[in-house]
Amino acid sequence: MSRKAENVALVCDSVAEFPETSIQRHCSQLHISTRSLRRILKIDLKIFPYKIQLVQKLLPEDFDLRIEYKNIRHNIEEIQPQMLQDVMKNALKRAESFIANRGHHLANIMFQS
C-alpha cells in the first residue's frame, strides 16, 4: 500500500479515534505497512509519533540519594589516570600469576585458623 488519499483518510480517522494506539497496532488494523503509515503521519498529517516514557517523580526524600550519587560521581572523577593505569598493571600481573600457578594464586599466602 502507499500514500493514497483513502489510506491517508483511514490513518487520520484511526489516529483521531485511538491516539494512544501504537504504530504497529495501527498498521495491523489498517493493513498498511509501517513505512507507509510513518510517511502518512509525517508528510500528510504532520504528526510525529513518539513513545511515552515513564519517569520517576522526584520527591523531597530523594534529595539525599541525589546528593550521595553526586558525591560518588565527583569522587570517581577525581581518580588520577595514573592510579587507574597502576590498578590495571597490578590486575594483569595477578592474572598472569594465576595462570602460571594453574589457579593456585594464593599458594604463597598462609592462612591462620
33 and 27 Cβ atoms separated by less than 8 Å: yes
Read off the DSSP letter of residue 61. G
pLDDT at 52: 73
* Direct distance between the N- and C-terminal alpha carbons of the chain, in angstroms, rounded to an integer: 78
Report the distance separating Cα 21 and Cα 12, nearest Å: 13
Task: Give the pLDDT confidence score for residue 99 in this predicted structure.
Answer: 78
Task: Share the mean pLDDT of the chain.
Answer: 86
The pTM assigned to this predicted structure is 0.45
pLDDT (tens digit, 9 = 90+) per residue, 69-104?
999 999 999 999 899 899 888 888 888 877 787 776
pLDDT at 37 over 80: yes
Cβ-proximal residues to 24 (8 Å cutoff; 6+ apart), any chain = 34
How much is the pLDDT for 112? 61
